[in-house]
Amino acid sequence: MNGRPDAAADAWNGVLVAFSGIVKTYGMGDATVHALRGIDLVIRRGEFLAVMGPSGSGKSTCMNILGCLDTPTSGTYLFQGIDVGALSREGRALLRRHRLGFVFQGFNLLNQSSALENVELPLIYRGLQPRERRRKAREALEAVGLLDRQSHTPGELSGGQQQRVAIARAMVIEPALLLADEPTGNLDSGSSREIMELLTAFNEDRGITIVMVTHDGNMAAYANRTIHFLDGRIDSEVQNGDEPT
C-alpha cells in the first residue's frame, strides 16, 4: 500500500482527505488520554461534512489534525495525496497558509482593524502586493455581502456580520478545505441560518469542501454527511435522509 490508504490511491478518484488508523494520545502512564483511537475517514472533494459528538469525544482533536494544528501519534493523513506526516513544521505551515481556511466560533478578528484589513491578513502572509490583496479582499467581502462595510471595525458590526468577515478572510485564499469550528455557536437563530446558507452556497456554487464541528443538529442538517464521535472513535455516520450506520 506504500503508506497510502486504498480509498485515496490517487487524486483522480475525488478524495481530498484520507485518515488511516489515526491515533492521538496525550500524557504518559496513568495520565494517558486516548483522544483518538484509530480513525479511518475519507473526505471527498466538494463534500460538506458535519462533525458532532459530546465534549471529550475527539472531534476537536480530529479538526486540529485536519488543520495541521496538531499531529497524530500514529496513523497516516493524506491531503490531496500528500503524506502530511512526512512534512516538516514549515511544510505544514505552508499547507495551512495555501490550502486551508479556518472559521471559528469566536470570529478571531483583529479588533482595531477594518473588515478589509482583516480579510487581507492571510494575503499578507502570502506576500501579495497591497493593490492585489486589496482587490482580492474586496471581492471576498462582496461575496459575503459586506463590501459596503469594508471600513468598519469588528466593534461596529453585528455578530453575524463579524462571522461573515471571518468567512471572507477564510475564503480569500481560495482554500481546498474550509474548517469551521462551531461557526454559529455565538449567533442568534436568524444569523445562524444566514451563515449556514452562505457556507452552503460556497460549497454548492464553488465546490469548496467544508468540515464543520457543531453541537446543533439543525446546523448539521445543512451538510451532506454527519459523523458522530464518541470516546475517540467515529460512532456513527449519517447521509442526508439516511438512518445512522
Residue-wise pLDDT for 139-180, tens only, equals: 999 999 999 999 999 999 999 999 999 999 999 999 999 999
**Inside any domain, residue 245:** no
What average pLDDT score do residues 66-81 get? 95
What is d(CA 208, CA 218) in angstroms, rounded to the nearest whole number? Answer: 21
Domain assignment present for residue 244? The answer is: no
Within a domain: 219? yes
Q: Which domain holds residue 176?
A: 6-239
111 has a pLDDT exceeding 90: yes
Q: What is the mean pLDDT of residues 65-79?
A: 96
Rounded Cα gap, residues 189 and 167, in angstroms: 18
Which residue type does 186 have? N
pLDDT for 12 equals 40
Tens digits of residue pLDDT in 16-27: 999 999 999 998
Q: What is the mean pLDDT of residues 90-97?
A: 94
In a domain, 22, yes or no: yes
Tens digit of pLDDT for each residue in 134-144? 999 999 999 99
Give the count of domains, the chain: 1
Q: Has residue 223 been placed in a domain? A: yes
What pLDDT is recorded for position 18? 96
Q: Cα separation of 64 and 171, whole Å?
A: 19
- Residue 1 in any domain: the answer is no
The helix/strand/coil state of 187 is: coil
Percent of all residues in the chain with a pLDDT value above 70, rounded to a whole number = 93
What is the structure's pLDDT at 241?
63
| CATH number of the domain to which 10 belongs | 3.40.50.300
**Strand ranges (E), 45-116:** 48-52, 74-79, 82-83, 100-104
Is residue 204 assigned to a domain?
yes
Q: Which bin fits 92, alpha (ψ -120 to 50), beta or left (φ > 0)?
A: alpha
Give residue for cell 480513525: 39
Q: Is residue 10 pLDDT above 50, yes or no?
A: no
Residue 128, pLDDT > 50, answer yes
Q: At 125, is the pLDDT very low, low, confident or very high (cuts 50, 70, 90)? A: confident
Q: Which three cell numbers stand for residue 158?
A: 453585528
Q: Rounded mean pLDDT of 113-132?
A: 94
| Spatial CB neighbours of 167, under 8 Å, sequence gap ≥ 6 | 103, 144, 183, 195, 198, 199, 202
79 forms beta bridges with 17, 82
